[in-house]
Amino acid sequence: MTSDKRMTADEAVSRLASGMTLGIGGWGSRRKPMALVRALLRSDVRDLTVVSCGGPDVGLLAAAGRIRRLVAPFATLDSIPLEPHFRAARQEGAFELTELDEAMFMWGLTAAAHRLPFLPVRAGLGSDVMTVNPGLRTVTSPYEDGEEFVAVPALTLDAALVHLNRADARGNAQYLGPDPYFDDLFCEAAREAYVSCERVVDSAEFAAAGGPQTLLVQRTCVNGVVEAPGGAHFTSCAPDYDRDEVFQAAYAEAAADPVAWREFTGRFLSGDEDAYRAAVAAFKGAAA
């Protein structure tokens, strides 16, 4: 594997294929790899099993008909409780949903990261999670306590897409915000992982920006690095920028009407990333 893993978003997405199980990092409408998602929308990749703490990544892929199955604990825009395209797709039965408790989701990724078939967890017992997921199994502790656990299956990924604040050319990546989310687990659970970042830096700069605990993603599990300033927009990427609430509100409003959504996609999603940035800048100028 080359030591310089820099590539464009379109080059990263060109390595994906229809039918894959794709993990997408971030959380709700926070630090989502939106530049990579937009590149995915420009590709012909479809029929995906998407594993995500869902936000507008899930919404955009659902609206484009790219999802066959979603594995998620939720799909939200945070300040807007329910992702509108997710809601519409579920109401229409557009894709299969596997809904897991957040702890079960985390342990499923952890099992995949450790190449285990499952991990036991108490979360889910006695809840409707077991009812809506009849394929879930339980296991009994082999020790004298004899406790029953949910056997959460590994969420093994063909590929993962995540967005971090900083990365070096070799694939080490750093978060500077308040929460790592599950981005490291997504990368470790995947056969291939692609990291977009606000800025590619020299490795020596990591120490100046934060402590060693902020170096979240290790180069050994990263196949490509994409420098994408503003690459999480319109979600947040603290401390680099907050969520663009005005743009998110426009997104949600357009999602409610097919004509408005066609206009939205034509304005913001019909070109490349440079065209997207220009359209967003024009939108902000008009809204100011």
Average pLDDT over residues 153-178: 97
Per-residue confidence (pLDDT) for residue 49, from 0 to 100: 98
Same domain assignment for residues 22 and 144: no
Q: Are 73 and 205 members of one domain?
A: yes
* % pLDDT > 70, the chain: 99
Q: Do residue 90 and residue 24 come from a single domain?
A: yes
Does 265 score more than 60 pLDDT?
Answer: yes
What pLDDT was estimated at residue 287?
79
Considering 243, 267, 283, which residue would you say is the last residue of a domain? Answer: 243
| Cα 158 to Cα 25: distance, rounded to the nearest angstrom | 14
Same domain flag for 71 and 188: yes
Domain of residue 173, CATH code: 3.40.1080.10
Measure the CA angle with vertex 183, ends 227 and 90; round to 5°: 105
- 2 within domain boundaries: no
Report how far residue 79's alpha carbon sits from residue 167's, in angstroms, rounded to the nearest whole number.
Answer: 29
The CA distances from residue 42 to 233, 249, 282, in Å, are: 17, 23, 21
The pair of structure tokens assigned to 167 is 């990365």
Instruction: Say yes or no to pLDDT of 288 above 90.
Output: no
Domain count, the chain: 2
pLDDT tens for each residue of 106-129: 999 999 999 999 999 999 999 999
Cα atoms in the 13 Å half-sphere on the side-chain side of 238? 11
The percentage of residues in the chain with a pLDDT greater than 90, rounded to a whole number, is: 94
CA nearest neighbour of 199 among 169, 229, 178, 174: 229
pLDDT digits over 1-48, tens only?
A: 569 999 999 999 999 999 999 999 999 999 999 999 999 999 999 999
223 and 176 part of one domain = yes
Looking at the domain assignment, is residue 126 inside a domain?
Answer: yes
The range of the structural domain enclosing residue 126 comes to 118-153
3-class secondary structure, 190: strand
Instruction: Mark whether 95 and 26 lie in a shared domain.
Output: yes
Amino acid 2: pLDDT: 64
What is the pLDDT, as a whole number, of residue 163?
98
Instruction: Write out pLDDT tens, residues 54-81.
Output: 999 999 999 999 999 999 999 999 999 9
